[in-house]
Structure 1
């Protein structure tokens, strides 16, 4: 029974964080900081250097940014950008990019 309550609590906390996020505040940061590489909506042409962020899961984006900030994920450029983000900024950015329509593109075979 305790396990069920723990799972419910984790789900509830995730929902509260998602509701508390402000995608418009995330859009402002994305426009000022992220757009040069990822595009204004996070749907820049896909390259290994600049992956698409639009339409990704909010929790994935928040974890990736947090990991760049803490150094758990290594990329000198992203670590520099993430170092200046607060937890609230990260949640707002994640909510913004998650709310954008992503475009799925499949590379032709052999590329």
Structure 2
């Protein structure tokens, strides 16, 4: 097994601590009304400017909401939405969206499929890029306890945009620079290909 992957797995075991303070799904649903304008009903948007958060991992959602509130992750719309929320509000919202069943929209561009699949499942060994599935799972389901996000079915344009932000250093919410170190080693073509593959991953795994 690739040594980099061994480190990832070992690290995941250490940080996969319980989500100690539970969120209230019902209260989170009440709070979610203001989210619908961008993320749509139940977080299942088709607008690539915003992520699908329907069925996303609870810990990941909570940590991203925290990052917006603290300013560690910048987005004027999101920062304004969470500005007046307290910690329990964030936990309740995360619990609500995580409770929705995953497996959503998206499809893979056939012209990008082979390259995207190769990167997702095997990485880019010559560039020191580990397989995406080492952290995000073979079906893109993520590692909810460790806070590694679900990618399956995510809009390709959104995923590519986030990888470019990691590559450019605009987004810095990754632990130990993990995603920045990966994205910096990827070409634009490779980013587009793996993002497309991820978008259609749920369909391939369910066939």
Alignment map for 1:10-89 (pairs within 5 Å): 11-12=17-18, 14=19, 16-17=20-21, 20-31=22-33, 33-47=34-48, 49-89=49-89
What is the aligned residue count? 98
Shift of 1:11: 2.4
Higher relative contact order (CA 8 A, sep 6+): 1
Instruction: Give unmatched runs, 5+ long, in structure 1.
Output: 1-6
Q: Which runs of 5+ in 2 are unaligned?
A: 1-13, 113-195, 197-207
Runs of 4+ with >6 A deviation: none
SS in 1 for 2:97: helix
Shift in Å, 1:105: 2.1
Offset at 1:82? 1.2
